[in-house]
Amino acid sequence: MPFTSLSAGPDPLASPPIPADALLAGLLDAAMDAIVAVDGQQRIVFCNPAAEGLFGWPRQALLQQPLARLIEGDFFGAQLQPLAARSPADPAARQAARRSVRGLHRSGQALALDASVSRRDTPAGTLFTLVLRECADAAPVPAPTAAPGGDAAALAEALRLANEEFAAFSYAVSHGLRSPLNIINGFSHLLAKKLGTHEGASVQNYLTRIQDSATQMGQLIEGLLTLSKVSRAVLQREPLALAPMAARTLEKLQARDTARQVAVQIESDLQADGDAQLVALALEHLLDNAWKFTAKTEGAQIAVGRQRGPDGETVFFVRDNGAGFDMAYADKLFKPFQRLHAVTDFPGAGMGLTMASRLIGRHGGRLWAEAAPEQGAQFFFTLPG
């Protein structure tokens, strides 16, 4: 049987050509090593997902930032500028020798890295590409001390940025939670009103518990929002008179709870130095705490004054004769959402003392307490001038 000649047709298994840009983008995104590109002004112009994972920063937070945010020391001046000074015809101008460097994670932790650098001259200018890999057998890198000033400054800057990011994150999350929480709270009240007395006591109890939980969560969210604002507030120091601040706060507490009788004693000459708004807020939290924990005390008393510390510094205090607490648990006092009493006994979100501690700490001061169960509590604080 004669064979029939077949003309060559298209290969059914052949694929259309892949654009070079798409292929390169795919390779960079899939690379297991961190890849960072820097321009001639040592600004970061590109980083791949592995770099985001290695350093803990999202890509958008790194673009146009100096390379010093990721690598300690003058890596640009020591490695990249000499590479840029070589002639493009020199083969050594295209790639520098590999070396070990100290990276800096977003959290402030130091990273031991292997780095290789390549240079490319483009119409937009010279670009340097760094390929970075964490040393698998490296010992943990100790945090820099104050001796190498550049390293310590870089660490301090990283910690500052991390704190700012955390404050912004807390604010965004807390603010976003308020809307759905208000919906839950609002509709639960409407449902309770619509049902009226037609449903049994168990249904009403369920709705009450939903409303109470929504209220408590709302207090926690407001606490987080305030805490994030406190962390970002800029101090504006000035001479302060604490006695009028304390008097105004106690007047507001009395107006809010007219049925209570509390004996108040405030020293007249309480002078300090600090931010008026933030110190007033700290004092408000301390006095609100004293007011709350004397609610079940017959003959409740609250005092605000000052005394001399062992080294001669001025120590202010807020004293009450209320419920007090066991000093064995004093380490929990100034931590967020920590409580030493049941919510059913004394309501609250567990943020007031945390806020007061943060506000006083912003001034370089200290806050501590002394107490005993059912014998009241004293909160002492300093405001260095």
Question: Model pTM?
Answer: 0.47
Residue-level pLDDT at 143: 43
Give me the tens of pLDDT residue by residue for the chain, a chain 385 residues long: 443 333 344 444 444 554 556 666 667 777 778 899 888 787 888 888 888 888 888 888 888 888 888 887 766 656 665 555 555 555 444 455 567 788 888 877 788 888 888 888 777 778 888 888 887 544 444 444 444 444 566 666 666 555 555 555 555 555 566 667 777 777 777 777 777 766 667 777 777 778 777 776 676 666 666 655 665 556 788 999 999 999 999 999 998 888 899 999 999 989 999 988 889 889 998 999 999 989 889 999 999 999 998 888 899 999 999 988 888 877 777 776 566 555 555 555 567 788 888 888 888 899 998 988 888 999 999 998 6
Please, which residues have CB within 8 angstroms of residue 248's CB and are 6 or more apart in sequence? none
Residue 157 and residue 144: Cα distance in Å, rounded?
13
Q: Beta strand 99-104 with 125-134: parallel, antiparallel or unpaired? A: unpaired
Residue-level pLDDT at 172: 55
Residue-level pLDDT at 380: 95
What is the number of residues in the chain? 385
**Residue 375 CA: distances (Å) to CA of 297, 353, 372:** 10, 19, 5
